[in-house]
């Protein structure tokens, strides 16, 4: 069914019609940096960042990305990642992917713990996430575990 405007579909859904739609759109398979494992829940989605080919940037910008001086682009070293081109993960391009949309090819590379922390910090800053309550809870849990162990000798 072709509808002239989104209002037509929205009105139909409000009157009790089916709100689920199917679309036929062109798409491209692209590599992504997966940040999370699929949860055991029914959603079966992962969080990922889209990648940008460095060849799309001017030489000065490429060098800034390689030196990790661009907060919004995390460089993926070509000797560690089996990508078709040198790339960077775009902090501004956070996406959710259903696990069925992820190919069966083994991982083409993996970030170490320090790199994941850097990406996480950049995401927190860019999206303006308030993590103060989370940090406070973790500090309280650490303090409670420390107290439970008793005085140190």
For residue 117, tell me if it sits in a domain: yes
Q: What's the pLDDT tens digit per position in 87-137?
A: 999 999 999 988 888 877 767 888 999 999 999 999 999 999 999 999 999
The answer to the question of residue 25 being in a domain is: no
Q: In 29-104, which residue ranges form alpha helices assigned H by DSSP?
A: 59-66
Tell whether 122 is covered by a domain. yes
Q: Is residue 20 part of a domain?
A: no
| Residue 113 belongs to a domain | yes
Residues in the chain: 153
C-alpha 84: how far from chain center:
20
- Give me the number of domains the chain comprises: 1
In-domain check, residue 75:
yes
DSSP H helical ranges for the chain: 6-14, 59-66, 113-127, 132-149
Domain membership flag for residue 13: no
In which region does residue 60 sit, left (phi positive, over 0), alpha (psi from -120 to 50) or beta (all else)? alpha
Better-predicted residue by pLDDT, 11 or 149:
149
Domain harbouring 36, CATH code: 2.30.30.110
Burial bucket for residue 74 (CB in 10 Å: 0-12, 13-18, 19+): buried
pLDDT value at position 115?
96
pTM > 0.85: no
> Which structural domain range is residue 42 located in?
31-149
Domain membership flag for residue 140: yes
């Amino acid at each position: 069914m072709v509808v002239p405007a989104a209002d037509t579909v929205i009105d139909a859904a409000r009157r009790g019609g089916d709100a689920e739609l199917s679309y036929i759109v062109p798409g491209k398979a692209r590599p992504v940096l997966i940040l999370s494992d699929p949860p055991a829940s029914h959603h079966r989605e992962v969080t990922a960042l889209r990648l940008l080919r460095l060849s799309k940037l001017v030489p000065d910008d490429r060098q800034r990305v390689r030196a990790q001086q661009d907060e919004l682009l995390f460089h993926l070293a070509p000797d560690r990642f089996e990508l078709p081109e040198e790339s960077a993960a775009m902090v501004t391009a956070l996406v959710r992917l259903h696990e069925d949309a992820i190919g069966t090819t083994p991982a083409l590379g993996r970030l170490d713990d320090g790199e994941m922390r850097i990406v996480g910090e950049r995401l927190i800053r860019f999206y303006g996430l308030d993590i103060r309550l989370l940090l406070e809870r973790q500090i309280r849990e650490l303090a409670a575990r420390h107290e439970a162990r008793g005085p140190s000798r």
